[in-house]
Structure 1
Amino acid sequence: MNTPTMSQPHWRKSSHSGGDEGNCVEIADLSDQIAIRDSKNFAAGHLTLTRQHFTSLLAQLASQP
């Protein structure tokens, strides 16, 4: 039985990720979910959140000093 392969997600680097600062985050739109990964460590995999949880995460991060 052949299992259909998921198309490769289009990863985008955060505009807040500095060049050589080591804090590089990428996101990908997976239709009903958002994937987040460390752009310098692809082997670590990615975190997948619902759009609602991703929005909540961004709001929480924005409220931090």
Structure 2
Amino acid sequence: MVTNERTITKWYKSSYSGGDQGECLEVARGHTEIPVRDSKTTPGPTLTFSTSGWAAFVTALKDGHLNAASCN
């Protein structure tokens, strides 16, 4: 668990963010759990996923099981 989100570094935008899709998702590398935040509200809340939870989420998106509509 990330106890202080201000200490999270190495944020990068998702490859699915940008252009006409809106820049909406950033992920940080190098942490035990996977921190995720809205790139339009970087001081806002951060979600954390277990590595298996993040892998399941990404797989569900790629397989079309979740609606990957615009983040606006």
Cα distance in structure 1, aligned partners of 2:23 and 2:12: 14
Alignment check: 8 A CA contact 2:13 2:23 kept: no
Task: Report the TM-score when normalising by structure 1.
Answer: 0.73
Identity in percent: 33
For residues 1-46 of structure 1, the C-alpha deviation after alignment (integer angstroms, 9 at most, x for no partner) is: xxxxx74321000122123543421001352110111100124311
Unmatched runs of 5 consecutive residues or more in structure 1:
1-5
Number of residue pairs matched by the alignment: 60
Unmatched runs of 5 consecutive residues or more in structure 2:
1-5, 66-72
Runs of 4+, deviation exceeding 6 Å = none
Counterparts in 2 of 1:60 and 1:20: CA distance versus 1, 3 Å: closer
Instruction: From the CA coordinates, give the structure whose radius of gyration is larger.
Output: 1
Cα distance in structure 2, aligned partners of 1:24 and 1:46: 13
Task: Report the TM-score when normalising by structure 2.
Answer: 0.67
Greater relative contact order, per chain length (Cα 8 Å cut-off, separation 6+) = 2
Aligned Cα RMSD in Å? Answer: 2.1
